[in-house]
Amino acid sequence: MVGVGRIDGGPRSAVVVGAGIVGLSTAWFLQERGVEVTVIDRTGVAAGASWGNAGWIAPGLAIPLNEPSVLRYGLRSLLNPTAPLHIPLAVDPGLWAFLARFAANCRWSSWTRAVRANLPLNEECVEAFDVLTANGVDAPTIDAPITAAFETPAQAQGLLRELRRMADAGQPVDHAELRGDRLREHVPLASAALTTGVRIDGQRHIDPGGFVQALARSVVARGATIRLFETVDIGADGKGVTVRPRTGKAVSADVAVVATGAWLSRLASRWGVRVPVRAGRGYSFTVPVDRPVPGPIYLPDVRVACTPYQGALRVAGTMEFRDPDAPGVTARLEAIIASARPLLDGVRWKERRDVWVGPRPVTPDGRPLIGAVRVPGVYVAGGHGMWGLAHGPVTGRLLAEQITTGKQPDALREFDPLR
């Protein structure tokens, strides 16, 4: 076992349920503190939201979802199955209860609280990635600004107002407005329809699936075992915890961490966690391009994110509130293409590959759930919404500190699962 040695009085062993960016980061930082780790996942490494997302490490754009404008937009979109935000008109009491709580939090006071809560995560998220890549995680992180592009200067004002509100809440974001040739310098794929840009500086991007796979290899190289089974329950007996599978042999340890993303509430709701987590599903695919892609491209008006990916362009978008295990809906992919096609030239849309749908774990108040629950020795980490990749490593580092010291870091107080 590598690391600095176990904290005196802390746990010697841990089971981490969930092999995405949050779970594996927690496992890695627990190992740094001398804890032996077993990782469990029902499907495999990066099988959920950690694989097909846009791959942005973008603290400057970690804007909470619960803006008042999102509520208005969602209500207008209810009857439009191709809208970027889609809520199916189905009989699902749990979903409608979640949406009612989300609507209640779509006010500036709640949004500002979420921004301020995220400040410590945003301040340390890039450095947490650097710790991983400097110590055995063999995957690059790429520095590049993210350029948001608009058809008119008036449309850009919406993002600029958001950035001003972020700054007023304590999160200043370095940015610059772009016009004409300066926009096309940063976005060679921009069509003639795009006239205005906002360059968000100080950001990074990665191949998300490749990074999480490299993180898993590092965790295994440091002594962990990864097991595949579906966890149906976790019990505690005063001496430790036991993770019980649907079939097969249970796994016991001193502590357990549940980092199952959009499936988190299936277990956490039994342990006094009253804040629900629902799947806000996103879609992505990869397409070849005929022009350079110097950095990520954001199309806010159609809610599409594009990233350089393996010599091509990964295109990601939509927010669909549907069961996390439901099959993908082809119409959602077609809607992304229809909205982005007029804005980007040199993209070979018909040659798309790597089509993916994955569930982002969303909470109604814009704040994730990170910390201890009512069952002794059990912790949860999830509900980061669209920013789980960016905040995954720093979440794992802070939670490992809490688990091994028994003290909740100040940065995690606003994310208490029992709030």
- Supply the Cα-derived Rg of the chain in whole angstroms: 21
The answer to whether residue 100 scores a pLDDT higher than 80 is yes
**Each residue's pLDDT tens digit, 405-419:** 999 999 999 999 999
The answer to whether residue 357 scores a pLDDT higher than 90 is yes
- Choice between 389 and 7, residue whose per-residue pLDDT is larger: 389
For residue 48, the model assigns a pLDDT of 83
What is the domain partition of the chain in residue ranges?
Answer: 13-415
Distance between CA atoms of residues 7 and 19, nearest Å: 24
Cα 240 from chain centroid? 30
Up-side HSE of residue 77: CA atoms within 13 Å toward CB? 19
Q: How confident is the model at residue 92 (pLDDT cuts 50, 70, 90)?
A: confident
For residue 247, the model assigns a pLDDT of 87
Average of per-residue pLDDT across 28-47: 96
**Each residue's pLDDT tens digit, 332-353:** 899 999 999 999 999 999 999 9
Distance between CA atoms of residues 83 and 65, nearest Å: 16
Nearest-5° angle of CA 30, CA 32, CA 33?
Answer: 65
Q: How confident is the model at residue 95 (pLDDT cuts 50, 70, 90)?
A: confident
Distance between CA atoms of residues 57 and 389, nearest Å: 7
Kindly list the distances between the CA atom of residue 176 and the CA atoms of 119, 162, 168, 202, 380, in Å, as whole numbers in the listed order. Answer: 22, 14, 18, 12, 38
The answer to whether residue 72 scores a pLDDT higher than 80 is no
Q: How confident is the model at residue 1 (pLDDT cuts 50, 70, 90)?
A: very low
**Each residue's pLDDT tens digit, 179-231:** 999 999 999 999 999 999 999 999 999 999 999 999 999 999 999 999 999 99
Judge: domain 13-415, CATH 3.50.50.60.
yes
**Each residue's pLDDT tens digit, 285-331:** 999 999 999 999 999 999 999 999 999 999 999 888 889 998 988 88
